[in-house]
Amino acid sequence: TAVLLQLNVRYRTRVAPKLTGIKRDPREPPPRATEPAPDPA
């Protein structure tokens, strides 16, 4: 399940900024308190 969680986090960190329309760096974590730890990649 750990792999699924990592993929989910990476997916959200890459797609979330696009959905919100906010131009942010792909490596920069989205402004969410629900993110325990941003993906290092």
pLDDT in tens, 1-41: 677 777 777 666 665 555 555 555 555 655 555 555 556 55
Q: Looking up tokens 């942010």, which residue turns up?
A: 24
| CB within 8 Å of 38: residues ≥ 6 apart | 9, 13, 28, 29
Alpha-carbon gap, residue 35 to 30, rounded angstroms: 8
pLDDT at 34: 54
